[in-house]
Amino acid sequence: MPFIIAIDGPAASGKGTIARALSQHFGFHHLDTGLLYRATGAKGGDPVAAARGLTPADLARPDLRSAEAGQAASRIAAIPEVRAALVAFQHRFAAQDPGAVLDGRDIGTVICPDAEVKLYVVASDEVRAARRAAELGADPAQMLVELRERDQRDSQRATAPLRPADDAVVLDTSDLSIADAISRAITAVDLARQGR
């Protein structure tokens, strides 16, 4: 049975950074599920058809990390048929040996509710905005508005809203260096592997 690590949390909290590090440390596959929604939103046209027809080339578009692509993703992610179209791909990905790390908004609650480890990564709004602004070369105040708008939409939608699974370990990275955040995540996974 593959070992599954589910990582969820609000925008720019550090999910992807931790997920990449865990996948390298444990030799697991990694899927940034936000990319599926970003690519769907960026395609334009009917979002349900776009989600059903996603190709590897769509996922490799160079413009997917922008704030605009994030907002477009968040809007189409509220459509239940879009989410349904992306489930099978995520399940296939998670089924790979020896294990997989998936990060997103509904991994521990909807996509992989039986994941061996569930992390819910958070950081204060201001810290997240500052980090994302530094990454994109953008204005922190503008980023704060953008992230809050996206978080609100993601957590208030009816289907698969952003929320921690009941059995998730909450990891607040506000005052943690990247190395310390990764180290805590590795410890959480090591504990779960010992108990397997």
Ligand X SMILES: Nc1ncnc2c1ncn2[C@@H]1O[C@H](COP(=O)(O)OP(=O)(O)OP(=O)(O)O)[C@@H](O)[C@H]1O
Ligand Y SMILES: Nc1ccn([C@@H]2O[C@H](COP(=O)(O)O)[C@@H](O)[C@H]2O)c(=O)n1
Q: Find the binder of ligand Y among 14, 47, 99, 104 (CB under 6 A).
A: 104
Applying CB under 6 A, the span of 49-57, 164-172, 176-184, 186-194 interacting with ligand X comes to 176-184
Q: Beta strand pairing status for 29-32 and 3-8?
A: unpaired
Binding to ligand X by residue 36, rule CB under 6 A? no
User: Between helices 140-156 and 125-136, what is the axis angle to 10°?
Assistant: 120
Binding to ligand X by residue 22, rule CB under 6 A? no
Give the Cα separation of 69 and 53 in Å (integer).
18
Annotated binding-site ranges for ATP: 9-17
Binding to ligand X by residue 17, rule CB under 6 A? yes
- Minimum distance from residue 115 beta carbon to ligand Y (Å): 13
Query: Which tokens is 132 given?
Result: 């994302």
Give the Cα separation of 65 and 82 in Å (integer).
20
Give the Cα separation of 120 and 8 in Å (integer).
5
Binding to ligand Y by residue 73, rule CB under 6 A? yes
Query: Which tokens is 121 given?
Result: 């990564």
Q: Are 19 and 103 in contact (CB under 8 A)?
A: yes
Which 92-151 residues touch ligand X, going by CB under 6 A? 131-132, 135
Q: With contacts defined by CB under 6 A, how many residues of the chain interact with ligand Y?
A: 15
Amino acid of residue 78: A
Binding to ligand Y by residue 150, rule CB under 6 A? yes
User: Can you give the binding site for ligand X, defined by CB under 6 A?
Assistant: 9, 11-17, 34, 131-132, 135, 173, 176-178, 181
